[in-house]
Amino acid sequence: MLRIGICDDKQEDIDWIEGLAAGFSAEHPEMPVQIQVYKSPYDLLDDIEKTGGFDLYLLDILMPHMTGVDLARWIRKRGERAEILFLTVSREYAVDAFAVKAAGYLIKPVRKADFDEAVLDCIRRLSPESNPALMLKSKDGLHRVRIHELVCIESFNHNQLCTLSDGSTLETAVTLAEIMEELKEYPVFVRPHRAYIVNMDFIHRLTAYELLLTNGKRIPVPQSGYSKLKHAYLAYMTRT
């Protein structure tokens, strides 16, 4: 199921975009879609804070009170790892659009072939096989965090602070033990210290007393756990 959120301030454009999405779904029955439409960016933000985000956002850019680019920035601040496509009449915001990691920038009226190609490209990037994800709950709602973007998780004041590869963080009340249980099928993750989970792809250096991550973060390594951690790290690096 591909969850699509559409936001445009013009009803005729909403109907047209929804029709493109429905047409895509009809031609690709292997990928059913669920579509939710919004005429206000604020309504969309309120909804995703309550129920979680979408897999794909189809956003207009020129809307009253908040542009589609500003809306995308808010989505990214939540830690959303969804795909974003802009559908707009203006070319002048293209640079800003890609600064929020947009997957595409389509000029209205969008040709069906261009729309279908852009959506298929987004689906490939969202594929669980190539981009497995972890669902985490925070005070802002549910967040889909891609496994390969999860650098480390630190226990902090009864909450867990997740650091992502783009430098952003996400706080969750889910325990480290529960998260590690979800991650056990991915050999890239280790628990070098009772207060940390680490993605070994982001280890820069391992010593007998600490891990240095590629983002500069230092994680203590207990003396009793060094040998086991070193073995796990060497085994993983040899395998990869």
In the block, tokens 């891990």 appear at 211
Q: How many Cβ atoms are within 10 Å of 206's Cβ, its own excluded? A: 18
**Res. 240: pLDDT tops 60:** no
Helices (H), 90-193: 94-99, 112-126, 176-183
Given this model, what pLDDT does residue 133 score? 81
Let me know if 78 is exposed, middle or buried by CB neighbors in 10 A (0-12, 13-18, 19+). Answer: buried
Q: Could you tell me which residues are beta bridge partners of residue 33?
A: 2
Of 9 and 240, the one with more pLDDT: 9
Q: Which residue has the tokens 């430098």?
A: 167
Confidence of residue 128 (pLDDT cuts 50, 70, 90): low
Mean pLDDT of 83-97: 90
Question: Closest Cα to residue 126, out of 73, 53, 185?
Answer: 53
Q: Is the pLDDT of residue 31 over 90?
A: no
Q: What is the mean pLDDT of residues 41-53?
A: 89
Angle, CA of 61, 66 and 71, to the nearest 5° = 70
Sheet holding 210-213, edge to edge: 203-206, 210-213, 218-220
Q: Which residues contact 15 (CB under 8 A, 6 or more apart)?
A: none
- Predicted local confidence at residue 80, as pLDDT: 67
| pTM for the model | 0.58
Domains of the chain: 2-126 (3.40.50.2300), 133-239 (2.40.50.1020)
pLDDT at 204 over 70: yes
Residue 103 is classified by DSSP as S
Name the band, by pLDDT with cuts 50, 70 and 90, for residue 166. Answer: confident
Q: What integer pLDDT is reported at residue 2 of this predicted model?
A: 86
* pLDDT beyond 70 at 238: no
